[in-house]
Amino acid sequence: MTILRARPAPLVAAVAALAAVTAAGTALLPGPAAAAPGCRVDYTPNQWPGGFTANIKVSPGDTAVSGWTVTWTYAGDERVTNGWNATVSQSGSTVTARNMSYNGSIPAGGSAEFGVQGTYGTAGGAPTGFSLNGVPCNGAGPGPTTPPPTTMPPTTAPPTSAPPTSVPPTTAPPTTPPPSGCAGAVLCDGFENQTGSTPSGDWSVVSPDCSGAGTATVDTSTAHSGSRAIRINGAAGYCNHVFVRTTKNLSGLGGVRYARIWVRHTTAQPTDHTTMITMSDAADGNRDLRLGGQNGALQWNRASDDATLPEQSPAGVAQSVPLPTNRWACLEFMVDGSAGQLRTWLDGVAVTGLTADGVPTHDIDGQWYNRTWRPQLTDLKLGWESYGGGADTLWYDDVAMGSTRIGC
């Protein structure tokens, strides 16, 4: 993207003037691109020291639009460095995001989602002055507004002070209620039935390739729900692999399987290739399909031929997102073995760069489809594997796998 470094334009005043005219009944932007009153822009940030991402959901309201331009203004020194599902530019403190060719049309009552990634020097305030096609949104008058909390899961927790979202301890002994939202799933485990410090029962500790300093334990101090989660101490360097592998028979899932995994980790994903979640592929010599990271963002990787999704070009990496640190994140994916397709969601938002949709796309799934891919997955392993640099401490909780999407 291009970051325009023009001096800050008096955009707020311009928006105010435009809104005043609009409120008086004069439609300045007639036609299909205009936004109806009642538009909403929901901005959901995830911030860490020096950087941030934000998911933005734009809802035009009662009238469909055939194209959209969303603008907002930062209160601090935030600088947007790239975006996904939109063409994003910044002038002064004002950010402008325009639709891509494939997501410009939003029906009445519908919405589109896009995201930005950026940096900041000092803590910034909440963005304000959201508008769609020049019309202020979120029920705003002409002045800047602060959007109310969105319907997304909590993603605004500062990274170093976010407490685990565990249920307060009670005097009742641990029970084994399934984590919420697992209905019908073949695998549905919040690890509350683990009795010792070593994962057992429905899970076994494995190091498929080689083992070293990595450890997997049942943690009773950090959990997404209940009082237990799996903790992985993942060391840097090859041969410190460690995973917990489900002992459940997943064959009943068939060829289409959806997973929902709550994961929390500590260290931002490094430039080097790392892996968190693997699944053995019987159609690929039992080599693993691996979900991890590279170049600072989430990445799928095929162990057999080292193909990556997205491609690790800068444009490809920009279509993925980093796994946020020091908070629980909801990771979902779908693998369709017969169609040879794959989808991934982070906190409920589909990630373009982690999508193999059957049609090779340069920078995204072009390399993935360099051969026919029809995976037959047989297991699920949660842990840590690094092949160079990259140590991390991770927790997994509320893990589910089923034949339909489970949700967060």
Cis (ω within 30 of 0) for the bond into 142? no
CB of 169 to Ca ion, least distance (A): 13
Which of residues 216 and 356 has its CB atom nearest to Ca ion in the complex? 216
Alpha helices in 276-397 (DSSP H): 314-317
CB of 157 to Ca ion, least distance (A): 19
Q: In whole angstroms, what separates CA 342 from the centre of its chain?
A: 15
Q: How near is the Cβ of 179 to Ca ion at its closest, in Å?
A: 7
Output 190 or 296, the one with its CB closest to Ca ion.
190
By C-beta, is 127 or 179 nearer to Ca ion?
A: 179
Q: Are strands 274-281 and 308-309 parallel, antiparallel or unpaired?
A: unpaired
- Please give the structure tokens belonging to residue 26: 């004069």
Token pair in block for residue 372: 């026919």
- 263 vs 297, beta carbon nearer Ca ion: 263
3-state DSSP assignment of residue 115: strand
Shortest CB 262 distance to Ca ion, Å = 9
Nearer to Ca ion, 191 or 203 (CB): 191
End-to-end CA distance of the chain: 32
The residues that touch Ca ion, with contacts defined as CB under 5 A, are 190-191, 223, 226, 228, 397
> CB of 220 within 8 A of CB of 241?
no
CB of 191 vs Ca ion, minimal distance in Å: 5
Give the integer Cα–Cα distance in Å for 118 and 49.
11
Q: Name the residue among 200, 192, 202, 232 with its Cα closest to residue 216.
A: 232
* Residue with Cβ nearer Ca ion (57 or 327): 327
d(CA 261, CA 399): 5
Closest CB 90 distance from Ca ion, rounded Å:
41
Q: Of 72 and 262, which has the nearer Cβ to Ca ion?
A: 262
Q: Pick the closer one to Ca ion by CB: 264 or 302.
A: 264
246 CB contacts (<8 Å, ≥6 apart)? 187, 189, 202, 203, 379, 380, 381, 401
Shortest distance (Å) from residue 229 CB to Ca ion:
5
In the complex, the smallest distance separating the C-beta of residue 202 from Ca ion, rounded to whole angstroms, is: 13
Cβ closer to Ca ion: 57 or 228?
Answer: 228
Q: What is the dihedral of CA 186, 188, 191, 192, to 10 degrees?
A: -110
Indicate left, alpha or beta for 340 from its phi (over 0: left) and psi (-120 to 50: alpha).
Answer: left
SS3 at position 264: strand
CB of 331 to Ca ion, least distance (A): 16
What is the distance between the alpha carbons of residues 310 and 295, in angstroms, rounded to a whole number?
Answer: 11
